[in-house]
Amino acid sequence: MSDPDILATLRDLLPDGTVSTADAAVLGRSIDASGAPAIGAALALVQPRSTEQVAAVVGAANAAGVPVVPQGALTGLAGGANAVPGALLLDLSALNRILHIDVEERLAVVQPGVTVAELAAAASAAGLFYAPDPASAEWATIGGTIATNAGGMRCIKYGVTRDAVRTLEVVLADGSLVRTRPSTIKGVAGLDLTGLIVGSEGTLAVVTEATLSLLPAPGPSRGVSAVFPTLAAGIAASNAIAAGPNVPSTLELLDDIVLGAVDAYLPHAGIPIGAKAWVLAITDSVHGADAELSAFERIFREHGALTVDRADTPIELDRLLTARRLLNQAMRALRGGSLNGDVSVPRSRLLALVERFAALANELHVVIGVGGHAGDGNLHPVVAFDPGDPEQVAAAHEAYQRISGIAQQLGGTMTGEHGVGIEKLAALDGELPPRLREMQRAIKAVLDPNGILNPGKKY
């Protein structure tokens, strides 16, 4: 089928205003927040308003052999939602209704375009709690966070998005609509197709509805942070907390490069002189929060903390989180450009990981600052560079590629939460042996025999 034919078919199937080929509309939705270039020019932007319309678009695209790129809010950091040549950009953000909050079953049924923050607010209004909390929660959609299996700061206690997904309604590549399993907490009939689709980055199916677990509301968040005279001491303190009996809801780390960048970016952030590592532990326990904070504080002091700060109110906690929130901005401000990594290793390898990054930075004459979710072993190395200097640009990109390899050599992964998309495809060989890649492509071929769903990504 030619381009005009598929467009005519879609215009017959869908209401006016749903399909656009205007450059501004198509280009405006062709890349995500990674800034990675699109693989090619998309054919049209399609903005369905119902599940039936999504099914009609995917069915027509499959019949015509036209690629479909599912899209949420485009906050992805791996190019997963970027345009591919001749594709329909399938923007699901108009499917944005919270269909049901069931207090008795502790679950929510939502359309994919609902944002994480909207669901969190609705759950909270019902006295419940939606645990996944990527830092992009204000914008990121439930569909996008399911497709990337998004993480965030609360995973050490509550797990990742996958842990909250009970069942999915999805449109398969042939346009048919299926529900992956019942909404029960338990259920082992057949293979776990829900788990397969979570994190599949729009390559196996389009999520049109999600049934998500809600939890009892936690207590207020309170925290304690500390700075350390050495990176080793900071990581040892973080690992001691992670291995201890009191599970924090958040356990974050920043290294000295990031602390220096934050200090330069916001001098009144209060970074002490000589700080080589910063660690923050938060509790949201309903009972025993005081004892937990004291235990975290004791561990910090036992590991030689230079200073310890405690936050018992939301305003105080907000202040403690300032440096962590500035990780990317402050690093980018160092030289004007930055590349953000997302590696994950066993916690016992965190020190080796950051030391290897420091050696890499020395070797390539680049700046690499590291921060992130130490409690999950998931860190975000940020390579800072001057975008106007071709040598620095080349060195930064080389560093970015080698960062993935270092994590893999230490028994970890090149992506803990952002996904593969197109940005990390090159590093997949270092992690998945040929047999596993073949198996993954075989699964893709069964679910999407014509290869229309988000081709050129993930595998």
Ligand X SMILES: Cc1cc2nc3c(=O)[nH]c(=O)nc-3n(C[C@H](O)[C@H](O)[C@H](O)COP(=O)(O)OP(=O)(O)OC[C@H]3O[C@@H](n4cnc5c(N)ncnc54)[C@H](O)[C@@H]3O)c2cc1C
- Which residues in this chain contact ligand X in the complex, by CB under 6 A? 32-33, 69-77, 80-81, 92, 112, 134-136, 140-141, 143-145, 147-148, 150-152, 201-202, 206-207, 417-418, 454
CB of 280 to ligand X, least distance (A): 15
CB of 441 to ligand X, least distance (A): 17
CB of 302 to ligand X, least distance (A): 30
Which residue number, 146 or 334, has a Cβ lying nearer to ligand X? 146
CB of 394 to ligand X, least distance (A): 25
Angle ∠(320,321,327) on CA atoms, nearest 5: 130
Which residue number, 253 or 295, has a Cβ lying nearer to ligand X? 253
CB of 157 to ligand X, least distance (A): 15
Bridge partners of residue 372, in order along the sequence:
253, 379
Which residue number, 292 or 371, has a Cβ lying nearer to ligand X? 371
Which residue number, 222 or 458, has a Cβ lying nearer to ligand X? 458
CB of 235 to ligand X, least distance (A): 20
Which residue number, 298 or 325, has a Cβ lying nearer to ligand X? 325
Which residue number, 303 or 337, has a Cβ lying nearer to ligand X? 337
Which residue number, 142 or 271, has a Cβ lying nearer to ligand X? 142
CB of 343 to ligand X, least distance (A): 13
Which residue number, 145 or 225, has a Cβ lying nearer to ligand X? 145
CB of 304 to ligand X, least distance (A): 30
On the 0-12 / 13-18 / 19+ scale of CB atoms within 10 A, 52 is: middle
